[in-house]
Amino acid sequence: MNLANHIITYHSTAIEGSLLSADETRLLLDADIVPEGKPICHVMMVKDHNSALKYILETASLKKPITVELIRFINALVMKNTGGICNTPLGQVDVSNGEFRKGNVSAGGSYFPGYDKVERLLKELVLSLQATMQMISPTDTEKQLNLSFTAHYNLVSIHPFYDGNGRTSRLLMNYIQAYYGLPLGIVFMEDREEYFSALRESVKKDDIQPVRLFLYKEYEKLSH
């Protein structure tokens, strides 16, 4: 397994609260060695993310278009063993099956679109991504990266699921990067607070630029 895959899984799950270290993540994924004293839900979070990462790399290599179903399936893989049934006034939602939320949510002081807008917004996002991917030149790396960062921000801003939105959005970013044969981007655990701050600033200003600048900075760290 590519070492970069371990690193991506470690950082993406650590951002969401996993207590596994980078070495514990590597041993778990390479040798199925479960670290002692760590919550089983964190172990399963790591395994699920890695399964989703392998899936998006395989699917991107086949040049499959981004669809609503693809995004839902990525989320289902991310939440496969840590999701559960969420009871809402509008009925049950199986969080482990990529089902859309049936309630309104907020995080970090930001309120996301109403649940009744999720499906429409996600369809609009997918159509926009499909159209843009058809127009971008295979050699235009800057536009390819910009699209991956835009997809990440727009998906996390819609927040279509009850859980796993951040991991799913970062995997969508990676999907587009893999689709174009680019190195995969990472949001580093040590930059977690700056990441959330950039997201909040972009939401507050209704401007993707703060997130885009942050993600470019993270991407440049990979070459050092």
Which tokens in the block code for residue 27? 């041993």
112 with 105: CB under 8 angstroms?
yes
Q: What letter does residue 186 receive in the DSSP assignment?
A: -
Burial pattern 17-41, b for ≥16 Cβ within 10 A else e, equals ebebeeebbbbbbeeeeebeebeee
> 103 in helix, strand or coil?
coil
List residues with catalytic annotation: 159
Give strand pairing partners of 92: 87
Q: What letter does residue 211 receive in the DSSP assignment?
A: H
Give the number of C-alpha atoms closer than 13 A to the C-alpha of residue 77, restricted to the C-beta side. Answer: 19
Task: Report the alpha-carbon distance of residue 217 to residue 188 in Å, rounded.
Answer: 11
Neighbouring CB atoms inside 10 A of 214's CB total 21
